[in-house]
Homo-oligomer: A and B are copies of this chain.
């Protein structure tokens, strides 16, 4: 399996785009982070690497990473898009607790079998899977009243 940098470089080349210093910084942060993050967090981290980094560049790089199959929009939280790197990671379900905000992840493998069959049936070629379940985690579910 190619590493994420190779994937990105090849993606950029195929589009006639350049693997620049700023894009490298962003890529490294994205694959160094192992939680969900939003654009602002990514910007803050990138700013620590170099002062020559603007929000615009961050916002412009995110869709490139998504189109390269490296990043994916995840759970939308408090009116912000959040993201997570997906390259080399198994697909998973997000269980989002509406009380404490926790996001639990569980494997999606079992569901994938059913899903692939369904995709074949309707002739759909799937790129991204977003499976979010909203409710209460085990901790918050037992509280109920306060």
Q: Say yes or no for A118: interface residue by CB 8 A criterion.
A: yes
- List chain B residues, Cβ under 8 A from A115: 93, 111, 133
Q: Say yes or no for A145: interface residue by CB 8 A criterion.
A: no
**Oligomer copy total:** 2
Q: A94's closest neighbor in chain B, by CB?
A: B130
Contact with B along A105-139 (1 / 0, CB 8 A): 01000110011001100111111111111111110
- List chain B residues, Cβ under 8 A from A135: 119, 124-128
- List chain B residues, Cβ under 8 A from A45: none
For the complex, what is the distance from the CA of A16 to the CA of B6, rounded to whole Å?
59
A sample of 13 inter-chain contacts (CB < 8 A) reads A76-B76, A95-B126, A97-B124, A104-B124, A110-B114, A111-B111, A119-B133, A119-B135, A123-B138, A125-B141, A130-B130, A130-B131, A130-B134
- List chain B residues, Cβ under 8 A from A93: 115, 118
Decide: A127 and B134 in contact? CB cutoff 8 A. yes
Q: Say yes or no for A98: interface residue by CB 8 A criterion.
A: yes
For the complex, what is the distance from the CA of A106 to the CA of B122, rounded to whole Å?
9
- List chain B residues, Cβ under 8 A from A127: 98, 134-136
Decide: A138 and B126 in contact? CB cutoff 8 A. no
